[in-house]
């Protein structure tokens, strides 16, 4: 309630003796209460409580700058829109409160998926999108391809601020490198033997391209889910693939047989070589022994050649003559014919 000031009036009183004096009489305002009726002013209680509340509010505001980054996350801190901490690792951290600093957390271990050559539901529904999935091979054939790409956040600040649409950038880089690798190969190689090589080469090349764009992602894998020829030539391609599979199977069987027989043949050859070497050593030792004995005999013979010669002659005859039929003729050429038929009765003479 507003206070109405008092108005003082000064007037002169003359008491008849020529002397007068001034009297100050406070005149009350008609709407103002007399001084003895005015209520004393009381201080408002809210003023003493506002200061602690303000201090508490400021403390809470400062504490709001404390934040926690979980084990599977990394964070980026911006101050008035400018990056001040591009990578904050898991733990408890402090920054300036909002709206000065802003903390953005990203799950860097979470794998994100995208499909090149179609959409994610296509792999479930089994449908194809010809315009999106067609690739041209090196021998001018068209194939339908669908690949699933898995990637994760590598540099949080680049992921947030360097690329407007990270998924589209990754898909474009992977599609470019897949087209480049497929365009260098024949359709038979693409559909049969070079699938894994195409995946690895495309992943490495697409990662280099994404790093050049500073997209802040890491490609974990590229998995080609389906790679088929156009429906018009599908049957012929299946026959070719079946023939190649049979050829590979037969080759593997032959290779297995060769791997089984070659060690056996080598073992037998080694055994024969060792047997021949042992036989050779045996014969050499026998020959050396016979030669040594002959040399000993020759030495003994040379000492008394006449006696030893006659003895050897007689010993030889003792070994040879009992085994053969023989005729003994004297020095005049006469011999007894009955010796030839020893034990037989001589034939009777005929009478003339």
The region, left, alpha or beta by phi > 0 then psi within -120 to 50, assigned to residue 81 is left
Lookup result for tokens 């038979």 = 188
CA atoms within 13 Å, Cβ hemisphere of 72: 5
Closest CA to 151 of 163, 133, 140, 141: 163
Distance CA 178, CA 143 (A): 12
Q: What angle do CA 341, 345, 350 make, to 5 degrees?
A: 110
- The per-residue pLDDT for range 37-71, each reduced to its tens digit, is 555 554 455 556 677 877 777 767 767 777 888 88
pLDDT (tens digit per residue) in 124-180:
555 556 566 889 898 888 888 899 999 999 988 899 898 889 999 999 999 999 999
Of residues 30 and 310, more confidently modeled: 310
Q: Using the predicted structure, report yes or no on whether residue 24 has a pLDDT greater than 50.
A: no
Dihedral, CA of residue 43, residue 46, residue 51 and residue 53, to nearest 10: 160
pTM: 0.51
Residue of higher predicted confidence among 349 and 98: 98
Percent of all residues in the chain with a pLDDT value above 70, rounded to a whole number: 74
What 3-state DSSP class applies to 295?
helix
Q: What is the pLDDT of residue 242?
A: 85
Q: What is the pLDDT of residues 88-131, one digit of tens each?
A: 888 888 787 888 888 888 888 889 999 998 766 655 555 556 56
């Amino acid at each position: 309630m507003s206070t109405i000031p008092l108005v003082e009036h000064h007037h002169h009183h003359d008491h008849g003796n020529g002397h007068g004096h001034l009297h100050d009489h406070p005149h009350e305002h008609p709407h103002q209460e007399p001084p003895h009726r005015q209520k004393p002013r009381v201080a408002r209680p809210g003023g003493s409580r506002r200061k602690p509340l303000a201090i508490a509010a400021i403390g809470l505001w400062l504490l709001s700058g404390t934040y926690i980054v979980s084990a599977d996350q990394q964070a980026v801190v911006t101050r008035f829109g400018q990056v001040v901490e591009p990578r904050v690792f898991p733990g408890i951290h402090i920054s300036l409160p909002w709206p000065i600093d802003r903390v953005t957390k990203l799950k860097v271990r979470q794998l994100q998926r995208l499909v090149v050559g179609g959409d994610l539901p296509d792999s479930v529904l089994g449908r194809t999108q010809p315009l999106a999935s067609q690739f041209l091979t090196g021998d001018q054939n068209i194939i339908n391809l669908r690949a699933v790409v898995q990637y994760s956040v590598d540099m949080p600040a680049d992921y947030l601020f360097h690329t407007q649409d990270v998924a589209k950038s990754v898909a474009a880089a992977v599609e470019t490198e897949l087209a480049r690798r497929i365009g260098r190969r024949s359709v038979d190689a693409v559909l049969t033997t070079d699938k894994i090589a195409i995946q690895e080469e495309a992943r490495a090349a697409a990662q280099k391209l994404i790093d050049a764009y500073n997209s802040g992602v890491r490609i974990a894998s590229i998995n080609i889910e389906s790679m088929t020829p156009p429906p018009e030539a599908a049957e012929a391609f299946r026959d070719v693939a079946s023939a190649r599979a049979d050829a590979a199977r037969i080759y593997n069987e032959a290779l297995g047989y060769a791997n089984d027989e070659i060690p056996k043949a080598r073992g037998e050859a080694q055994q024969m070589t060792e047997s021949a070497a042992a036989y050779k050593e045996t014969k050499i030792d026998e020959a050396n022994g016979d030669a040594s004995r002959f040399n000993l005999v020759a030495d003994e013979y040379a000492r008394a050649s006449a006696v030893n010669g006659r003895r050897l002659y007689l010993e030889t005859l003792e070994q040879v003559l009992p085994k053969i039929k023989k005729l003994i003729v004297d020095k005049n050429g006469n011999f007894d014919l009955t010796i030839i038929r020893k034990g037989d009765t001589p034939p009777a003479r005929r009478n003339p």
